[in-house]
Chain A
Amino acid sequence: MAQPINRYKTDLRDYSFLLFEQFKLQDVLGAEPFSDWDEETCNTVLSQVYEFAKTVTGPLNRVGDTQGCRLEDGRVITPEGFKDAWKKLYDAGWRVLGAPAEYGGMDAPTSVAVLSDELLSGSNTAFNMYPGLCLGAAEVIAEFGTDAQKKTYVPPMMNGKWGGTMCLSEPHAGSDVGSATTMAAPVGDGTYKIRGTKIFISGGDHDLADNIIHLVLARIEGASAGTKGLSLFIVPKVRVDGTPNDVQVTSIEHKMGINGSATCVLEFGEKGECVGELVGTVEHQGMRQMFKLMNFARIGVGIQGLAVASSAYFNALEYARDRKQGSSIKEWKNAEAPRVAIIEHPNVRRDLLMMKSKVEGMRALITKLAVHQDRLRAVEGKDDASVAYHQGQIDLLTPLVKAYCSDEAYRVCETAIQVYGGAGYLKDWPVEQYARDSKIFSIYEGTNAIQAMDLVGRKLGQGGGKNTQTFLGEIQKWIAAHKDDADLTDAVANLQKAHEAVGGSVMQFLGWFQSGQMPNIVLMAERFLHMMSKLTIGWLLLDGATIAAQKLAEGGLSARDQAFYEGKKYSALYYAKNIVPEVIGDAKTLRACDVSPVQISDEAFGPA
């Protein structure tokens, strides 16, 4: 067994900054539904989860990567230590932090649950997928299930007795979920016989819990083709009466990363004995129900990206401070100059600051989304207009969180390896695993191309474009209020240009839709998603920088806070001056919309 050593690192100071200094979560604490929560409790919970991450799940990250999962006698064996960690996780209660009290949870603010999730995912992405997906599946049953289903399935899925999965993909139905061929035949007693093959099922089988509850998308006999004909079924590995339910793991995948997570091929009803029950009572609601889980999972993937990127940054930082190589550039004429730590080299500092700004930007984006959710929960049932506003912003930001954070995670990991140099390519250091683990983030839970189409095809125009207008309006208002800030003038000017560029591109998409130029939309959607993400993050980082600037001006800070606020300022300046300007160039490219990729013939790509 690889040495169980923790490599996970983060800085919780940024978390409390985002929650309480920038996004003002305290506005909604101390009152329903967060009456049990105050600032100190949120910070205590995060520090305890961080302890847990460093001491329980973190040390198993490389162990899981090295050992992987095994399939023996039709059962999946997880890496050494996973079982113990699973038990400790549920004993500690961290997985149900945000769940309602009736299920043993603590009704924590979503933002605290989300940042806790970052800590768990960052310490061990592969391990955290088992309980993470289980929670998502439990929440679907809790929302759409019958009272009996809620009573039977949700408590054991919340307390770690049972696991849970989501089963969408099939061999010929990946991104195209509507082609699913898994069938459900009504038995007559309210249950259905399920038959079909599902692939890429994370945690499709494991030895961490007594049972696994699969949520399976299937088509009831006679239902229409496409996504509209799909229904969602609860299919336990072991039936509630204790008999096996004809769900077989036929193989597990051998992957590039997240090796500790078992990715399974599941065969339902090979012997015709697989029994499932419809989630709730209405047929053909599968996609709508699954979307609840998919939205949860998409935000979860964004969190995974942030989590791994953050630890990659902090590890690269530690290495750069420690590794001596070369002399200072200021001594370039002096062959005898002393060797310096590589953090002294300007290019390394640039790479570090780029990583830092991206990581803090992703965390700000995700925290913003989560605090919208908390503010929504605070006014639910009381103020419909506010609910609609917050839900609109959540819907708009979800594809940005999923796609930008997952794309950038891989890039931050790549940069981290570069900072290490040759050492980063070795398994002696954690960053090569981070790079391998993070590649999947841009693919699963809807590829980033799908996220981009969700953004431009659905979210931009949602509510007649109201959510987008409100969102861009808030940025414009911020720019107007801060365009004369002495420290930030160039940076705010860049943001202003990026804002115009994004606004213009939204109109461009509208034009393409109206004139039916659909290939242009598909060609440019991902570029636009990144433009909008960069604008958003540039804004959020600069907003954070104004708070930091004020603290620095007030003075009387501890050395640690002094350094922290200075760091916030430079993260924002770097991002605004180096990354936000890319949006302006991207807008030109987008407007010109080179259609070479659709003009080139198949043959011209190269011989078959």
Chain B
Amino acid sequence: MKVLVPIKRVADPANANKVKVAGSEVSHDGLEWVMNPFDEWSLEAALRLTEDASAKTRTGEIVVVSIGPKAAVDTLREAMGKGAERGVLVDGEDTALDSNVVAQILAKVVEKEQPDLVLMGKQSADGDSNIAGTKLAELLGWPVINYASHIETSDDGKTLTIKRELDVGVQTLKVQGPAVITCSDRILKPGTIKNGVTPADFEYPDLGDLNSRLSNLKNIMAARKKPLDELGLGDLGVEPVRVDEYVGFELPAGRSGQAQFLESVDELVQKLQSEAKVL
């Protein structure tokens, strides 16, 4: 199975307090870049789909693709250090991307790569638009399933049984590949991916606060030698059109007030009633 995993680099959400905005621009100065956590979930899912976890061998191929400046190579190498086989970097400016541009570029990469599946984040941690995956499927004429929590492949790998956890319960869908799938964080739980190769009783470790597995030394060293193609938009024959126009950014208002220690539960209830007016 060949899986394409698009990966965006985003300013580290843990340092959101360092973001500076000026009019219609967000300044990237001084920020640290990390892999979009939503994409990391999909990378982890893709790794589990294409390996025999028990024998620790790779059984399929993962191509990670990113759109960004040269420095985004680091993000791709990081993904390859976790196990992805190849990388593709499409030259672009972080600030010049919107969901439509991303979908149009990715559609061309998909045409070139012909994967069995595109697994991507349901959104990016910076823009939170939640559009690119669906838009990509639309451009490709492929089915799209968002917020997958479980993925099971048929014996020939062509049919996927996917569960989505919704407020009303769990929905199970069957889909013929190729397809675009976005994942929810439930996908990181043990037992959510069945690929017919990893033994059913294999127990993946709990990832805790991590968004994907840690890389190990061997993979990091190997990742340096894995193929990484750098493409311009011309190479893909695409002139993406941006449809969103950023008019302005504002930082959220600073937190008002401070934590207060109360003497009793009664006092808390009273304050919730009279001051917060939530009871």
Interface residues of A (CB under 8 A from B): 36, 38, 40-41, 44-45, 48, 51-52, 55-56, 59, 84, 88, 91-94, 96-97, 106, 558-560, 563
Contacts and interface: CB of A to CB of B under 8 A. Distances in A.
* Chain A facing B: main interface SS: helix
Contacts of B220: 41, 44-45, 48
Contacts of B32: 560
B208 A55 contact: yes
A36 B223 CA distance: 11
A555 to B, nearest CB: 14
B116 to A, nearest CB: 29
A559 B221 contact: no
B266 interface: no
Interface in B16-33: 29-30, 32
Given A45-B220, A93-B218, A97-B217, A55 B77 contact: no
Contacts of B74: 40, 44
B214 A51 contact: yes
Nearest to A108: B217
9 contacts: A38-B224, A40-B224, A41-B224, A51-B210, A56-B214, A84-B205, A88-B214, A106-B217, A106-B221
B217 A93 contact: yes
Interface of B: 29-30, 32, 74, 77-78, 81, 205, 208-210, 214-218, 220-221, 224
B216 A91 contact: yes
A17 to B, nearest CB: 16
Contacts of B209: 55
A48 B81 contact: yes
Given A55-B208, A558-B29, A558-B30, A44 B217 contact: no
Contacts of B81: 44, 48
Given A40-B224, A55-B208, A93-B217, 9 more contacts: A44-B77, A44-B220, A55-B210, A56-B214, A88-B205, A91-B216, A96-B217, A97-B217, A560-B30
B214 A36 contact: no
A41 B221 contact: yes
A97 B216 CA distance: 10
B225 to A, nearest CB: 9
Given A55-B210, A558-B29, A48 B224 contact: no
Contacts of B205: 84, 88
A15 to B, nearest CB: 15
A55 B216 contact: no
Given A48-B81, A558-B29, A559-B29, A92 B221 contact: no
Nearest to B210: A55
A391 to B, nearest CB: 28
Nearest to A87: B205
Nearest to B218: A93
Nearest to A563: B30
A159 to B, nearest CB: 12
A104 B125 CA distance: 38
B214 A55 contact: yes
B216 A92 contact: yes
B254 to A, nearest CB: 14
Nearest to B27: A559
A45 to B, nearest CB: 6
4 closest Cβ pairs, A-B complex: A93-B217, A559-B30, A560-B30, A92-B216
A254 B203 CA distance: 37
A501 B274 CA distance: 71
B217 A94 contact: yes
Interface centre among A51, A92, A106, A558 (most CB of B within 10 A): A92
B15 to A, nearest CB: 10
A600 B124 CA distance: 74
Contacts of B221: 36, 41, 106
Nearest to B32: A560
Contacts of B216: 91-93
Nearest to A324: B258
A52 B217 contact: no
Contacts of A52: 214
Contact of A92 (B208, B210, B217): B217
Given A44-B81, A55-B208, A55-B209, A92 B214 contact: yes
